């Protein structure tokens, strides 16, 4: 019985590639190689390097993602630069001009990680400045500019590198297909040279050649065409045979690799049995309870996202425990990934609702105002304060743009405004204009901000007292008091 052929050795380094230089040699020296895994094999390779269970590493990665660390960006980076078992890395292949679908997947994972980091930056800046709208706008602009600059520089560097390494070959003038056959066969021996000469198209006779010479040339040319067709058929058959043999070799190597991978998988399953149903049930119950408590105790629109992240943290901790007791569970890993993606989607929806970019209209009785608080990053906001018994107090937080507030007759407005130095707060009454930030009701808050606390009386009998809290960084703010005749039109 013959033994299975050994696996193919790693490909020899390309001497013309600069990726065999310092950085990639340093990465290879780390001794971490990607292995068979769920996504890229980074966790499996890291676990093999340190001699621990891959489930523990996956659980730690999930916990790091939940608590806010940029684990997704780190994972995408490791997926790109770490070599596989054959010694090839996706970053090195990209530098050599070899493209694959895995590189697109790495880019998608990196984009998800950047979005996570963006959420962290927005939260941090919002907590530091106390204004979420301005923080969102600042971080978005900075991130877009930085990302665009880095992407442009990377594309230019890649194109320049590819241009420098492009081979430059020149064909000698006067070369022809027939001549190349003779030159290629010249060093292969006398018989090969004679065969190549025989395959060379005979030169046509001159115009004043004898009819017998012309007839002889035609016979030679017909024989040459037949030999040329036969030679081309032989070349095609040889190419097809070579491709078939190469395909069979790849299939044989793939079968050997699949058989060995199946044996290793069976060995791992024997060493690490599945997690029990009781353990999974307890984990699912704990995750549901923890997520529900976190969502109920949280305030704001991000309560659902917080609940999903809390449940993901529980399942990730359960993955670590399962790995520590030498148990495997694909269900826990799948549940953690789904909870993380669900929490990220819920958080992205909340952030999108916070932006409100464009032109929006709200009122003191409109459902658009939500619970009385409205936030807009930049754009135009039109606020209508109507005379209604169910009018609710309004709180407006805005970064930049224009804000127009119209006050109907019968509405008395109590305004508490905090605006930046680049914002203009104007009170319009008919043809009269008053700059409230320069009036007696304004006071300096420091840090380039001005506060205005003023009560604007109603036109006519007061039937509605409306409270408005306005916080805006920059732009134009106009509060227009409507006369009864304006509303009748």
Question: Burial level of 170, CB count in 10 A (0-12/13-18/19+)?
Answer: exposed
Select the more confidently predicted residue: 117 or 442. 442
**CA of residue 377 relative to chain centroid, distance:** 23
For 202, which DSSP code?
Answer: P
CA distance to 199, 201, 215, 274, per residue, from 221 (Å): 10, 7, 10, 76
**CA 477 – CA 425 distance, rounded (Å):** 5
The confidence score (pLDDT) of residue 15 equals 43
Flag whether pLDDT at 400 surpasses 80: yes
**CA 379 – CA 74 distance, rounded (Å):** 35
Find the mean pLDDT for residues 120-148. 56
For 274, which DSSP code?
Answer: B
What does the pLDDT look like over 333-371, one tens digit per residue? 888 888 888 887 887 777 666 667 678 888 888 554 445
The confidence score (pLDDT) of residue 299 equals 65
Task: Collapse the DSSP code of 103 into the 3-class scheme (helix H, G, I; strand E, B; otherwise coil) and give the result.
Answer: helix
Lowest mean per-residue pLDDT among 100-114, 305-319, 381-395? 100-114
The confidence score (pLDDT) of residue 96 equals 74
The confidence score (pLDDT) of residue 417 equals 92
The residues that bridge with 361 in the sheet, in sequence order, are: 382
What does the pLDDT look like over 234-276, one tens digit per residue? 888 888 888 888 888 878 877 787 777 677 767 766 666 778 8
Task: Collapse the DSSP code of 401 into the 3-class scheme (helix H, G, I; strand E, B; otherwise coil) and give the result.
Answer: strand
The confidence score (pLDDT) of residue 452 equals 92
Find the mean pLDDT for residues 320-327. 82
Chain position carrying tokens 């106009």? 478
SS (H, E, C) 14-43: CCCCHHHCHHHHHHHHCCCCCCCCCCCCHH
Find the mean pLDDT for residues 421-438. 87
For 188, which DSSP code?
Answer: T
**CA 294 – CA 413 distance, rounded (Å):** 38
Flag whether pLDDT at 130 surpasses 80: no
What does the pLDDT look like over 64-81, one tens digit per residue? 777 767 788 888 888 888
pLDDT band per the 50, 70, 90 thresholds, residue 477? very high
Flag whether pLDDT at 173 surpasses 70: no
182 touches 200 (CB < 8 A): yes
30 touches 47 (CB < 8 A): no
Flag whether pLDDT at 150 surpasses 70: no
Select the more confidently predicted residue: 117 or 136. 117
Flag whether pLDDT at 446 surpasses 60: yes
The confidence score (pLDDT) of residue 68 equals 66
Average pLDDT of the chain to the nearest whole number: 75
pLDDT band per the 50, 70, 90 thresholds, residue 4? very low
Flag whether pLDDT at 192 surpasses 60: no
pLDDT band per the 50, 70, 90 thresholds, residue 387? confident
> CB-based contacts of 259: which residues, under 8 Å, 6+ apart?
4
């Amino acid at each position: 019985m013959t033994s299975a052929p050994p696996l193919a050795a790693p490909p020899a380094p390309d001497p013309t590639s600069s990726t065999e230089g310092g950085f990639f040699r340093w990465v290879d020296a780390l001794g971490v190689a990607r292995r068979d895994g769920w996504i890229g094999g980074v966790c499996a390779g890291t676990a093999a390097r340190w001699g621990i269970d891959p489930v523990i590493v996956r659980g730690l990665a999930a916990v790091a993602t939940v608590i806010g660390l940029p684990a997704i960006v780190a994972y995408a980076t490791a997926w790109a630069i770490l070599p596989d078992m054959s010694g090839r890395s996706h970053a090195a292949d990209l530098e050599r001009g070899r493209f694959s679908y895995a590189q697109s997947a790495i880019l998608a994972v990196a984009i998800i990680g950047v979005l996570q980091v963006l959420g962290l930056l927005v939260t941090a800046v919002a907590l530091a400045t106390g204004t979420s709208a301005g923080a969102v706008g600042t971080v978005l602009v900075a991130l877009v500019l930085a990302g665009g600059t880095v992407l442009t520089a990377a594309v230019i560097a890649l194109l320049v590198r590819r241009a420098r390494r492009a081979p430059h070959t020149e064909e000698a003038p006067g070369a022809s297909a027939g001549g190349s056959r003779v030159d290629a066969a010249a060093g292969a021996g006398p018989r090969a040279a004679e065969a190549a000469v025989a395959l060379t198209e005979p030169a046509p006779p001159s115009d004043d050649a004898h009819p017998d010479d012309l007839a002889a040339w035609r016979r030679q040319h017909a024989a040459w065409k037949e030999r040329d067709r036969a030679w081309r058929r032989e070349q095609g058959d040889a190419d097809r045979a070579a491709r078939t043999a190469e395909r069979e070799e790849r299939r044989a190597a793939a079968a050997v690799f699949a058989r060995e991978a199946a044996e290793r998988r069976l060995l791992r399953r024997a060493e690490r049995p599945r997690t029990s149903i009781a353990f999974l049930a307890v984990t699912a119950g704990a995750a549901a309870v923890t997520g529900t408590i976190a969502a109920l105790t949280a305030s704001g629109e991000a309560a659902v996202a917080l609940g999903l992240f809390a449940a993901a943290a529980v399942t990730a901790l359960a993955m670590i425990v399962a790995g520590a007791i030498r148990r495997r569970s694909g269900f826990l890993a799948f549940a953690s990934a789904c909870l993380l993606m669900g929490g990220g989607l819920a958080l992205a929806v909340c952030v999108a609702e916070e932006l409100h970019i464009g032109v929006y209209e709200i009122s003191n009785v409109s459902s658009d105002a939500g619970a009385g608080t409205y936030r807009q990053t930049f754009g135009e906001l039109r606020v209508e304060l109507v005379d209604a018994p169910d009018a609710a107090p309004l709180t407006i937080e805005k970064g930049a743009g224009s804000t127009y507030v119209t006050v109907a007759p019968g509405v008395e407005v109590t305004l508490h405004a905090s605006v930046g130095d680049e914002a203009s707060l104007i009170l319009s009454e008919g043809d009269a204009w008053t700059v409230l930030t320069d009036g007696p009701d304004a006071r300096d808050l420091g840090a380039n901000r001005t506060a205005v606390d003023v009560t604007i009386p109603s036109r006519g009998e007061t039937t509605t007292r409306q409270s408005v809290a306005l916080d805006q960084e920059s732009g134009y703010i106009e509060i227009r008091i409507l006369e009864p005749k304006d509303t009748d039109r």
